[in-house]
Amino acid sequence: MTRIIADISVSLDGFVTGPDPGPDNGLGTGGEALHTWAFSDDPDDRRVLREATARSGAVVLGRRLFDVVDGPGGWDDEVGYGAGEVGKPAFVVVTSAPPESVRLTNLDWTFVTTGLSDAIGVARRRAEEASSASGQDLDVVLMGGGAVIGSAIAAGLVDVLTLHLAPVVLGAGTPLFTGGAPRTLVRRSVTATTTATHLTYDVV
């Protein structure tokens, strides 16, 4: 069964970027500390990253995050979603208007202009197609930014929330949660390493 999984790194004070994020400073000031775990040699960090990539049938992201990863200082063959891992999923971008051009033409991009729910629906179909082709259950992963994940949780579109809690206090930046209806979470797993505490919850 294809699940909708929100997966994001967050600081102890609830921010998914540092202050002043932008195309040339994607994670904001000090925000690189959020993703230290993703470059760690710790075997548990490597396993968490490997398993997350392996389960990804399609990935949803917002336009601001797309502009960062597709920008001149963004993803390449060594840095990016699934870099160094097997295969690459389809990417679905929520946007008001598609970009005029794409730098990362080796990746499978779909741009959805009719809202987050429709984008998740497109991603679900792509993940189900990938599941059929591979013979294993693959999921839709919402990788961010924070507004996309927060909105999806508030709208009841998320089945699983995975947080990579970094041992850093950023003080300001892009918050993951900005209000909305209460949600009950059921903790399924906790993995603590020197660089992060990896938390997985079912969203009830």
What's the CATH code of the domain at 127?
3.40.430.10
Sequential DSSP letters for 143-197: EE-HHHHHHHHHTT--SEEEEEEES---SSSEES----S---EEEEEEEE-SS-E
Percent over 90 (pLDDT), the chain: 77
What value does the mean pLDDT take over residues 48-59? 92
The better pLDDT of the pair 27, 203 is held by 203
Q: Quick one: pLDDT at residue 84?
A: 57
Task: Report the C-alpha gap between 27 and 17 in whole angstroms.
Answer: 5
Work out how many domains the chain is built from and give that number. Answer: 1
Q: Which domain holds residue 164?
A: 4-18+25-203
Residues 6+ apart with CB under 8 A from 191: 44, 48, 197, 198
- Checking if the pLDDT of 86 tops 60, the result is no
Q: Quick one: pLDDT at residue 165?
A: 98
Per-residue burial over 52-80, b if 16 or more Cβ lie within 10 Å, else e, is bbebbbbbbbbbbbbbbbbeeebbeeeee
What value does the mean pLDDT take over residues 52-77? 91
- Checking if the pLDDT of 90 tops 90, the result is yes
What value does the mean pLDDT take over residues 21-30? 82
Mean pLDDT value across the chain: 92
- Checking if the pLDDT of 22 tops 80, the result is no
- Checking if the pLDDT of 180 tops 90, the result is no
Q: What is the pLDDT of residues 104-129, one digit of tens each?
A: 998 999 999 999 999 999 999 999 99
pTM of the model: 0.92
- Checking if the pLDDT of 23 tops 80, the result is no
